[in-house]
A = this chain, B = another copy of it.
Amino acid sequence: MKYIIKDLKIKGVTLTPQRMAIIEFLKSNLNHPTAEDIYKALEEKYPSMSIATVYSTLELLKANGYIQELSIRKRGKACFDFTSKNHHHFLCLKCDNIIDIESECINTCPIVKAGQLEGCKVGEIQAYLYGVCSECNKNTIKKNKNK
């Protein structure tokens, strides 16, 4: 974790209290928070912080490869993932929770290696699955029983 701080310093990035707080928050909240989530969580401790700072810091962290931005919510807010590791995501359309899915699938995906993308340089990959999570499924079953 500390390596980010060191790393950013080496790159000449100024580590302001606001940036530190945002990094700290992301580090301990791996549940894919939105910019607003971060802003609201920090406003008690940093009442003067602006949402613009949150966005610019997220941009900075993304540009340096520390976080990933997900556009899993169609027409909704972006959310952020404090990792550079490739993995899938599942969005529950009932409770809006996002579940991480670890998988080699993406990296070993035959498409990326050969096939329809000759000549293309592939950087980022995001796979989004949509449905109803097990928790919400349980609740649905309960409700049906009560009828």
Contacts and interface: CB of A to CB of B under 8 A. Distances in A.
**Majority SS at the chain A contact face:** mixed
B116 A124 contact: no
A120 B137 contact: yes
A119 interface: yes
Interface residues of A, number: 45
Nearest to A77: B75
A122 B116 contact: no
A125 B127 contact: yes
Contact of A131 (B93, B101, B124, B126): B124
Interface in A109-137: 109-112, 115-135, 137
A127 to B, nearest CB: 4
A73 B138 CA distance: 34
A16 interface: no
B129 A122 contact: yes
B123 A125 contact: no
A125 B129 contact: yes
Given A71-B74, A112-B129, 8 more contacts: A71-B73, A71-B75, A92-B120, A119-B135, A119-B138, A120-B137, A125-B130, A126-B130
